[in-house]
Amino acid sequence: MSSAWRSVFTYNKYAQITARAVRASLKEEQRLAAEKRGLTLMRYQQWDSGKGGPQVRGKSLVVTTFLILRQITLAEEEAAKAA
Protein backbone atom coordinates (compact mmCIF):
# COMPACT_ATOMS: atom_id res chain seq x y z
CA MET A 1 0.00 0.00 0.00
CA SER A 2 2.98 2.32 0.47
CA SER A 3 3.36 2.76 -3.28
CA ALA A 4 -0.31 3.37 -4.07
CA TRP A 5 0.44 7.01 -4.89
CA ARG A 6 2.69 5.95 -7.80
CA SER A 7 -0.26 5.18 -10.03
CA VAL A 8 -1.71 8.66 -9.45
CA PHE A 9 1.21 11.08 -8.94
CA THR A 10 4.78 11.53 -10.03
CA TYR A 11 7.33 11.41 -7.22
CA ASN A 12 7.82 15.19 -7.38
CA LYS A 13 4.10 15.83 -6.98
CA TYR A 14 3.91 13.34 -4.11
CA ALA A 15 6.84 15.02 -2.35
CA GLN A 16 5.24 18.44 -2.87
CA ILE A 17 1.92 17.28 -1.36
CA THR A 18 3.55 15.62 1.65
CA ALA A 19 5.82 18.63 2.29
CA ARG A 20 2.80 20.95 2.23
CA ALA A 21 0.96 18.68 4.69
CA VAL A 22 3.95 18.61 7.05
CA ARG A 23 4.38 22.41 6.90
CA ALA A 24 0.65 22.90 7.56
CA SER A 25 0.84 20.71 10.66
CA LEU A 26 3.63 22.76 12.27
CA LYS A 27 3.13 25.46 14.88
CA GLU A 28 3.08 29.01 13.54
CA GLU A 29 6.73 29.90 14.24
CA GLN A 30 8.12 26.66 12.80
CA ARG A 31 5.72 26.81 9.86
CA LEU A 32 6.93 30.29 8.85
CA ALA A 33 10.57 29.18 9.09
CA ALA A 34 9.83 26.11 6.93
CA GLU A 35 8.02 28.19 4.31
CA LYS A 36 10.98 30.58 4.08
CA ARG A 37 13.34 27.65 3.49
CA GLY A 38 11.09 26.45 0.69
CA LEU A 39 11.30 29.76 -1.18
CA THR A 40 13.73 29.65 -4.09
CA LEU A 41 15.72 32.80 -4.73
CA MET A 42 18.00 33.60 -7.61
CA ARG A 43 19.52 36.57 -9.36
CA TYR A 44 20.15 36.94 -13.05
CA GLN A 45 21.60 39.60 -15.28
CA GLN A 46 20.85 40.35 -18.93
CA TRP A 47 24.00 40.93 -20.99
CA ASP A 48 23.99 43.01 -24.16
CA SER A 49 27.05 43.77 -26.31
CA GLY A 50 29.41 42.51 -23.61
CA LYS A 51 27.98 44.71 -20.86
CA GLY A 52 25.88 43.45 -17.98
CA GLY A 53 22.60 45.07 -17.12
CA PRO A 54 21.10 45.41 -13.66
CA GLN A 55 20.77 42.30 -11.54
CA VAL A 56 17.20 41.09 -11.17
CA ARG A 57 16.08 39.02 -8.19
CA GLY A 58 13.56 36.29 -8.81
CA LYS A 59 11.50 34.62 -6.10
CA SER A 60 10.23 31.74 -8.14
CA LEU A 61 12.74 29.74 -10.11
CA VAL A 62 10.09 28.48 -12.52
CA VAL A 63 8.71 31.95 -13.35
CA THR A 64 12.18 33.47 -13.60
CA THR A 65 13.40 30.67 -15.86
CA PHE A 66 10.35 31.15 -18.08
CA LEU A 67 11.07 34.89 -18.36
CA ILE A 68 14.73 34.30 -19.21
CA LEU A 69 13.83 31.73 -21.87
CA ARG A 70 11.23 34.11 -23.28
CA GLN A 71 13.83 36.90 -23.55
CA ILE A 72 16.24 34.52 -25.31
CA THR A 73 13.51 33.47 -27.74
CA LEU A 74 12.62 37.09 -28.52
CA ALA A 75 16.30 37.94 -29.07
CA GLU A 76 16.70 34.98 -31.43
CA GLU A 77 13.58 36.00 -33.36
CA GLU A 78 14.89 39.57 -33.73
CA ALA A 79 18.28 38.25 -34.89
CA ALA A 80 16.58 36.01 -37.45
CA LYS A 81 14.56 38.96 -38.80
CA ALA A 82 17.69 41.11 -39.05
CA ALA A 83 19.59 38.40 -40.98
pTM for the structure as a whole: 0.39
Q: Measured on CA atoms in the order 61, 59, 66, 5, is the torsion positive or negative? A: positive
pLDDT of residue 60: 56
pLDDT digit string, tens, across residues 29-81? 887 777 777 666 667 788 888 888 888 776 555 555 666 777 788 888 888 88
> Residues 6 or more apart from 42 whose CB is under 8 A from it?
57, 58, 61, 64
Domain ranges of the chain: 4-38, 42-82
